[in-house]
Amino acid sequence: MAATITDTNFNFPKQKSVYIGKVREVYNINDDLLVMIATDRLSAFDVVMPKGIPYKGQILNQIATQMMAATEDLVPNWLIATPDPNVAVGHLCEPFKVEMVIRGYMSGHAAREYKAGKRILCGVAMPEGMKENDAFPQPIITPATKAEMGDHDEDISREDIIVKGIVSEADYLVLEKYTRALFQRGTELAAKRGLILVDTKYEFGKTKDGKIVLIDEIHTPDSSRYFYADGYQERQDRGEAQKQLSKEFVRQWLIANDFQGLEGQRVPEMTDEYITSVSDRYIELYENITGKSFEKSDTSNIQERIEKNVTQWMRSN
């Protein structure tokens, strides 16, 4: 099984600090640039799994950078360069402390809340009479507060975000506008690949000169859920589960093994065979979402490779 990178300890030139997220580790370079390392950590139910998934970080990083290039005409983003398969370098930004979740279909968390009898999610009404995986009449935005590592993201309404001063009303209106534009473009890109973009989340930050930009990842299987368009309606009519591309298969495996991130629950054992199967699924996701063959990077010494590539890029820029 290929080697993985699950934590880092770099010391880049002019490095000032490091932020450790659930999956990414972000290095502040001279309060000017951010070097974002996409690790192979796997997070589900806001819990980081004990073992890494080979090539997962590379896959997330490469999908995100391709999708940013495909949407930069709509929404400015933080990205400057990708000096390594697992690394993105961009402008230092102050992140907004909300995740902009947008849902075109009633799936995942929304479906679980609906089954529990709730008809309001983050202050947004969900129509009566819907089945799991039905399309909403219009995509709905259901924000979440951005959690630190190990904590749960929490649903929050637009009104509470503004009243509590988490985001100003003027900035929030921009976040909503950008979120809808990105989701529309993502829907169009997915359709070209025979996919349906079901739901996703976007994160935004503000540059030092006050510009709101897209940060982190976009339209990856960790941040998004995709269905196969072919046969979607037939499966809905028969009440069957949808064929999907996302890490929901990991969540379902955890649920089947009595784990949903709740207090007192233990993460089930992840065998080498299971880890390889998850890696294979991520490669499948990459190829379906991008339409490109996945080229595995050299994992013989990932830490050394990243340090070399990033340092060389910094010296030449």
pLDDT at position 148, please? 56
In this prediction, residue 243 has a pLDDT band, given cuts at 50, 70 and 90, of confident
Write out the H or E segment, with its range, that includes residue 266: none
Q: Quote the CA–CA distance of 82 and 313 in Å, as a whole number.
A: 9
Q: Are 182 and 71 within 8 A, CB to CB?
A: yes
Sign of CA pseudo-dihedral 153, 159, 163, 168: positive
More confident: 208 or 151: 208
Q: Rounded to a whole number, what is the distance in angstroms from the first to the last CA of the chain?
A: 36
Q: Quote the CA–CA distance of 311 and 38 in Å, as a whole number.
A: 17
Whole-model pTM?
A: 0.89
When mean pLDDT is compared over 37-51, 77-91, 133-147, the highest value belongs to 77-91
| Type of residue found at 117 | G
Q: Are 98 and 114 within 8 A, CB to CB?
A: no
What's the mean pLDDT when you consider all of the chain? 94
Q: Quote the CA–CA distance of 128 and 22 in Å, as a whole number.
A: 35
Q: Quote the CA–CA distance of 201 and 220 in Å, as a whole number.
A: 10
More confident: 248 or 179: 179
In this prediction, residue 248 has a pLDDT band, given cuts at 50, 70 and 90, of confident
Cβ atoms within 10 Å, residue 103 = 26
Sign of CA pseudo-dihedral 207, 163, 155, 188: negative
Q: Quote the CA–CA distance of 285 and 296 in Å, as a whole number.
A: 14
Looking only at the bridges linking them, the beta strands covering 24-29 and 15-20 are antiparallel
pLDDT at position 150, please? 46
Residues 6 or more apart from 83 whose CB is under 8 A from it? Answer: 89, 309, 310, 312, 313
What would the mean pLDDT of 28-35 be, rounded to a whole number? Answer: 96
pLDDT, one tens digit per residue, over 118-161 is 999 999 999 999 999 999 999 999 999 976 544 567 999 999 99
pLDDT, one tens digit per residue, over 266-311 is 999 999 999 999 999 899 889 999 999 999 999 999 999 999 999 9
In this structure, of 58-62, 129-133, 152-156, 204-208, the range with the lowest mean pLDDT score is 152-156
In this prediction, residue 229 has a pLDDT band, given cuts at 50, 70 and 90, of very high
Residues 6 or more apart from 192 whose CB is under 8 A from it? Answer: none
Q: 169: burial class by Cβ within 10 Å (0-12, 13-18, 19+)?
A: exposed
User: 256 φ, ψ to 5°?
Assistant: -65, -25
Among residues 122, 144, 167, 168, the alpha carbon closest in space to that of 223 is found at 144
Question: Where do the domains of the chain lie, and which CATH numbers do they carry?
Answer: 95-249 (3.30.470.20)
> Helix or strand or coil: residue 39?
coil
Q: Which two tokens stand for residue 57?
A: 């970080």
Please tell me what DSSP assigns to residue 229.
S
Q: Are 48 and 24 within 8 A, CB to CB?
A: no
pLDDT at 34 over 60: yes
